[in-house]
Amino acid sequence: MNLVLYGLYQPKKYKRKTPILGHTVYDQGDCKIIVPKEFSGASINPKNFIGLKKKFNVESITILDRLKPDNGPVCVLDHVNQSGYNFLMGQTPTSEFPTFPDMSNIYNQIKNLEGVVVYTVGPDLFSGVGPSSFIASESVGLISPVWHYIGVSVFAKNDYLEKLR
């Protein structure tokens, strides 16, 4: 399987795009980038993610997120959801998956990257985050639990498509 990335923004370069299950999938040949049509439960939910998983044979996904401060490449090893919402709430159980999923150890280490804990604030609050003593995340703490819930191995980093856009 090719590399599968998940992010909030459309890449500048791609070979083709396919709308599917509340998302657009941008094909770059050796990489697919999945982008939700909207940052809401209408796009980001277990049923859509199960469909994406089956259609594109997704076994692992790398979530690309913006972090503040951005002090170089890091991988996310844990998050604290400070956004006020959760895309799994009211969506479980789905298919054969449990009502109360284990959300410990969602993330996998990315080789050669320092691991960090982030505080996910959501896209609406992210732009207003100023200097602080913690690392703010735009979205990873909201997206990763849904992928983890449906059995996909989750990796996350802050290299937010800059090389791909």
End-to-end CA distance of the chain: 22
- Comparing 118 with 130, the larger pLDDT belongs to 118
Q: What are phi and psi of 93, to 5 degrees?
A: -75, 150
**pLDDT reported for residue 160:** 58
Tokens of 165: 């856009």
Tokens of 139: 């979205």
Q: Which residues contact 159 (CB under 8 A, 6 or more apart)?
A: 64, 73
Residue reference for tokens 């994406």: 52
How far, in Å, CA of 19 to CA of 37, rounded?
9
When the candidates are 3.40.50.970, 3.40.50.280, 3.40.50.1580, 3.30.70.360, the CATH number that belongs to 3-157 is 3.40.50.1580
Q: In what order do the strands lie in the sheet with 74-81?
A: 16-20, 23-27, 31-36, 3-6, 60-64, 153-157, 74-81, 114-120, 136-137, 67-68
**pLDDT reported for residue 162:** 54
Q: Sorting pLDDT into bands at 50, 70 and 90, what band is 148? A: very high
Please state, rounded to an integer, the average pLDDT across all residues of the chain: 92
Strands (E), the chain: 3-6, 16-20, 23-27, 31-36, 60-64, 67-68, 74-81, 114-120, 136-137, 153-157
pTM score: 0.92
- The fraction of the chain above a pLDDT of 90, given in percent, is 78
| Contact yes or no for 6/64 (Cβ under 8 A) | yes
**Cβ neighbour number for residue 32 with a 10 Å cutoff:** 21
Cα 20 from chain centroid (whole Å): 17
Query: What is the per-residue pLDDT across 56-103, written as a single tens digit (0 to 9) for each?
Result: 999 999 999 999 998 889 999 999 999 999 999 988 888 888 888 889
β partners of residue 33: 5, 26
For 148, the 3-state DSSP assignment is helix
